[in-house]
């Protein structure tokens, strides 16, 4: 019984440390590839997504998002089998505007991380990648990262930062701001994650539980 209790404590601590608040942050779950539910087949290396075609995410009305996947065309993928191209093929004269809401606890610190890369440096306008987190109740901005296409193409950039919860629902938003408004092929993004920073008490609980299990094994 004691062993089972300690195991539960370890699992609880691990869950608190690693729980990701985003759904499909790496874009790896793509059941609508090959058309369906707001997805439109591309040229065999990408799919144009609208509405709720990407599980976990909402694509704003009038906008689209481009998903790259492995093919003979070698379109850039940062990680796994799928990555997001933020040009949205210039759908309706717009680039991508995609977002996901997640719950927050007032005063809780969260880690935000993601990866991005410049695919092509076009030199044809002011487009920049924007990653923003804001409070949906009062529109206060907790994070606003602007990334121009000035880095070496295909060089993956890793971004990690922290933000503090407000107790309201927060929204993670991905777009190009300012937009190019056409199929610019400038930015690829992937691996979005929001995780709570564990409180010292949670870390201590996990450490004590692990220590007890270790001592028990040694006695056995």
9 falls within a domain: no
Within a 13 Å sphere around the CA of 162, how many CA atoms are in the beta-carbon half? 8
113 falls within a domain: yes
User: What integer pLDDT is reported at residue 79 of this predicted model?
Assistant: 96
How far, in Å, CA of 83 to CA of 68, rounded?
A: 5
Q: What is the pLDDT along the chain (220 residues), one digit of tens a residue?
A: 444 433 333 334 444 456 999 999 999 999 999 888 999 999 999 999 999 999 999 999 999 999 999 998 999 999 999 999 999 999 999 999 999 999 999 999 999 999 999 998 765 567 899 999 999 999 999 999 999 987 888 999 999 999 999 999 999 999 999 999 999 999 999 999 999 999 664 443 444 344 344 444 555 4
Check if the beta carbon of residue 58 is closer than 8 Å to that of residue 52.
Answer: yes
Check if the beta carbon of residue 79 is closer than 8 Å to that of residue 114.
Answer: no
How far, in Å, CA of 48 to CA of 32, rounded?
A: 10
207 falls within a domain: no
User: What integer pLDDT is reported at residue 124 of this predicted model?
Assistant: 55
CB-count exposure of residue 18 (10 Å: 0-12, 13-18, 19+): exposed
User: What integer pLDDT is reported at residue 123 of this predicted model?
Assistant: 59
User: What integer pLDDT is reported at residue 95 of this predicted model?
Assistant: 97
62 falls within a domain: yes
Q: What is the CATH number of the domain that holds 78?
A: 2.60.120.260
CA distance to 34, 159, 181, per residue, from 195 (Å):
32, 14, 33
User: What integer pLDDT is reported at residue 39 of this predicted model?
Assistant: 95
How far, in Å, CA of 148 to CA of 121, rounded?
A: 10
* C-alpha dihedral (71, 72, 77, 83), degrees to nearest 10: -30
How far, in Å, CA of 186 to CA of 50, rounded?
A: 19
Check if the beta carbon of residue 200 is closer than 8 Å to that of residue 123.
Answer: no
1 falls within a domain: no
Q: Which two tokens stand for residue 77?
A: 């993928």
* Count of domains observed in the chain: 1
User: What integer pLDDT is reported at residue 97 of this predicted model?
Assistant: 98
Q: Coil, strand, or helix at residue 59?
A: strand
How far, in Å, CA of 31 to CA of 23, rounded?
A: 14
211 falls within a domain: no
105 falls within a domain: yes
CA-wise closest residue to 44 among 11, 70, 5, 79: 70
Range of 75's domain?
20-195
E-assigned strand segments in 29-168: 39-41, 46-49, 58-59, 65-68, 83-85, 97-102, 109-118, 128-135, 141-148, 157-164
11 falls within a domain: no
How far, in Å, CA of 203 to CA of 157, rounded?
A: 30
């Amino acid at each position: 019984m004691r062993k089972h209790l300690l195991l539960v404590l370890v699992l609880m601590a691990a869950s608190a440390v690693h729980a990701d608040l985003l759904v499909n942050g790496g874009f790896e779950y793509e059941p609508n590839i090959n058309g369906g539910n707001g997805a439109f087949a591309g040229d065999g290396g990408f799919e144009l997504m609208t509405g709720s075609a990407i599980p976990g995410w909402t694509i704003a009305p009038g906008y689209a998002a481009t998903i790259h996947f492995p093919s003979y065309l070698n379109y850039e993928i940062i990680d796994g089998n799928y990555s997001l191209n933020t040009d949205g093929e210039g759908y309706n004269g717009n680039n991508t505007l995609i977002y996901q809401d997640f719950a927050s606890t007032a005063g809780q610190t969260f880690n935000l991380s993601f990866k991005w890369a410049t695919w092509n440096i076009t030199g044809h306008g002011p487009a920049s990648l924007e990653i923003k987190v804001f409070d949906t109740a009062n529109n206060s901005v907790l994070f606003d990262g602007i990334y121009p296409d000035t880095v070496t193409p295909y060089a993956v950039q890793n971004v990690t930062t922290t933000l503090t919860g407000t107790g309201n629902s927060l929204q993670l938003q991905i777009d190009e701001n300012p937009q190019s408004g056409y199929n610019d092929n400038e930015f690829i993004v992937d691996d979005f994650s929001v995780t709570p920073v564990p409180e010292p008490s949670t870390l201590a609980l996990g450490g004590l539980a692990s220590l007890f299990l270790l001592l028990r094994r040694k006695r056995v």
